Amino acid sequence: MAVYSLVSTLKMHIMKSNGHAYPVIETRYLNGNGKKEKIWAEADFLGDEHIATSIDTPMRPDAFDISDTSKMEIIEKHFEQIMLTLGLDLTDDSLRGTPHRVAKMFVKEIFYGLNPANKPGISVFDNKFRYGQMLVEKNISLNSTCEHHFLPITGKAHVAYVSSGKVIGLSKINRIVDYFARRPQVQERLTVQISEELKKVLKTDDVAVIIDARHMCVSSRGIQDDGSSTLTAEYSGIFKEDKRKEELLAYIGMNC
């Protein structure tokens, strides 16, 4: 998709703030004004409709060629540019450390789940006694970030599976949910990624994942609706049967 493939030239400016001079990057788009407007209109539409382009998180092939430390240094410099461009005075004590804090937060906290090296190791146990039973873990705290606006998505995940003889510790389900949530996300993709991972780990198709979440990009900008939440569900295997689905929804208190 051409939406993000903007061709740009970079030009350095010097912006003065409290007697200090900072270099600021100015971006000029070569697409021509009409074309540029069309591209931005498409980007707005894609973002406001929260359309995902694939189930896998779109990653560059060289995503992990540089270290976390280098990534933090680069992000820090760029975030400083964003703040300067907004006109903020980075000599102020309160703002001085913000570019570094944001860089560290991106790499080590809210987007740590981009790196496969951070995927939680999950041990699976044999448990013949639970064969055929539905196991449900509900109200798992979910903190993610909308990839279209880089604003928080917060809510709850409910996960169920029917054991094929394999079980995992319940806290491991929280870890799997958290790992996939900690990347720029679209709620539908997050739901499917959690489901696919659980199917793989538990060696069963009988998995259901339901996410009920609020998107700050809906509540604090755009339509500014702070009363709505978004529900997504991925039912696989026997959870496609209405009876099982109803049993699950009743259990998590979502039956209507």
Q: 246 catalytic, yes or no?
A: no
* Total residues interacting with Zn ion, rule: CB under 5 A: 4
Nearest one of 55, 46, 43, 59 to 188, comparing CA atoms: 55
Q: Which stretch binds Zn ion (CB under 5 A): 10-18, 60-68, 185-193, 212-220?
A: 212-220
The residue (of 50 and 199) whose beta carbon lies closer to Zn ion is: 50
Least spacing, CB of residue 59 vs Zn ion, in Å = 19
Instruction: Out of 217, 233, 238, 248, point to the residue binding Zn ion (CB under 5 A).
Output: 217
Q: 148 catalytic, yes or no?
A: yes
Least spacing, CB of residue 17 vs Zn ion, in Å = 31
Segments in the chain forming alpha helices (H): 33-48, 68-85, 93-96, 98-104, 170-181, 187-202, 216-219, 242-251
| Burial class of residue 11 in the structure, from the number of CB atoms within 10 Å of its CB (0-12 exposed, 13-18 middle, 19+ buried) | exposed
Which residue among the candidates 50, 80, 217, 234 is catalytic per the annotation?
217
Strand pairing report for 184-185 and 134-146: parallel
Which residue among the candidates 158, 193, 215, 234 is catalytic per the annotation?
215
Instruction: Out of 149, 158, 172, 182, point to the residue binding Zn ion (CB under 5 A).
Output: 149
- Binding to Zn ion (CB under 5 A) within 89-148 occurs at 146, 148
Which residue among the candidates 50, 149, 158, 193 is catalytic per the annotation?
149
Per DSSP, 239 falls in state G
Q: Is 76 in contact with 99 (CB distance < 8 Å)?
A: yes
Is 52 one of the binding residues for Zn ion (CB under 5 A)?
Answer: no
Q: Which pair of tokens denotes residue 212?
A: 């009920």
Is 186 one of the binding residues for Zn ion (CB under 5 A)?
Answer: no
Q: Is 239 in contact with 160 (CB distance < 8 Å)?
A: yes
Q: Is 159 in contact with 251 (CB distance < 8 Å)?
A: no
Q: How many CB atoms lie within 10 A of CB 192?
A: 19
Q: Which stretch binds Zn ion (CB under 5 A): 3-11, 86-94, 174-182, 209-217?
A: 209-217
Q: Which stretch binds Zn ion (CB under 5 A): 15-23, 110-118, 127-135, 214-222?
A: 214-222
Q: Which pair of tokens denotes residue 163?
A: 């054991």
Q: 158 catalytic, yes or no?
A: no
Which residue among the candidates 148, 158, 193, 234 is catalytic per the annotation?
148
The residue (of 52 and 210) whose beta carbon lies closer to Zn ion is: 52
Which residue among the candidates 50, 76, 80, 147 is catalytic per the annotation?
147
Which positions ≥6 away from 204 have C-beta within 8 Å?
A: 161, 162, 163, 164, 166, 237
Which active-site residues does the annotation give? Answer: 146-149, 187, 215, 217
The binding site for Zn ion (CB under 5 A) comprises 146, 148-149, 217
